[in-house]
Amino acid sequence: MKKNIGLLWATAVATVMGISSANAQVKVPEEITTLMNKYTCSACHRVDARLVGPAYTDVAKKKYTNEKIVELIYKPVPANWPGYPPMAPMTQVPKPDALKLAAYINSLAPKAAKK
């Protein structure tokens, strides 16, 4: 019951804060928005702005592999992000969904400048 209330609360907060892909400054694929809302990522993260946690664009700049991002979803390392509160382990996210989220995050990495 507590888990459902937490999920409902996070979804309500996300809705009120206008984090749907239609309202985001960066176009987020609908499937990714659905996953972010389903697993409450949106309660703490935004694509291109700091919230409770780092922006996904900042995570992408770290150049983690998709597999490393999945590992950090399941077992966060607070020392990687000083100045942010520690993230709770998100072990409820199935690996295939975590990999989709990781691939999306890495797609936000700045492209190397061409010379």
What is the distance between the alpha carbons of residues 35 and 114, in angstroms, rounded to a whole number?
Answer: 33
Buried b / exposed e along 63-81 (16+ C-beta atoms within 10 A): ebebeebbebbeebeeeeb
What is the distance between the alpha carbons of residues 40 and 15, in angstroms, rounded to a whole number?
Answer: 11
Feature table: binding site for heme c = 41, 45, 87
Feature table: binding site = 41, 45, 87
Residues composing the chain? 115
